[in-house]
Amino acid sequence: MNTTQAEHLGQAIVALRPRQMGVLPLLYPILEALGVRQTVNELVSTETDIDLGRIVLLLTLNRLLAPQPLYQVQDWLAETVLPEVLGIAPEQAYDNRLGRAMGQAGRAVRPGL
């Protein structure tokens, strides 16, 4: 192994970060089988870069795995495998966006609100 390869390997090792997985392999298939994302997206259509169903799925998993206030969900998300699973970058899961999503989902379920 030459010096350049060793440096590249060293950089790759430093870039590795452990990610939390917890019981995600058990919960995610259940939520998929229940059709949580699809049901939400059928009830509320959005034109944002992240559909409401994915955000509801993210918040549901947060409540089940490690309940956090909305302003801490972004940090929690960054420490999990969910960015890869859900296709939501941590910087996209900021508290105002999550709060608006909850409001949209609530109005879809209870239109009088």
Q: Which residues pair with 20 in a beta bridge?
A: 80
Q: Report angle CA 89, 94, 99 to the nearest 5 degrees.
A: 125
Residue 113 has pLDDT above 70, yes or no: no
Q: For the chain, how far is it from start to end, CA to CA, in angstroms?
A: 65
Contact indicator for 39, 98 with CB cutoff of 8 Å: no
What are the tokens at 9?
Answer: 């390997």
Can you give the pLDDT at residue 3? 63
What is the average pLDDT score of the chain? Answer: 84
The domain limits of the chain are: 20-109
Give 74-89 pLDDT, tens digit per residue. Answer: 999 999 989 988 999 9
Q: For residue 16, count other CB atoms closer than 10 A to its CB.
A: 7
Q: What is the DSSP string of 37-58?
A: HHHHHHH----SSS-HHHHHHH
What are the tokens at 86?
Answer: 């859900």
- CA 3, CA 92: separation in Å to the nearest integer? 38
What proportion of the chain, given as a percentage, has pLDDT over 70? 82
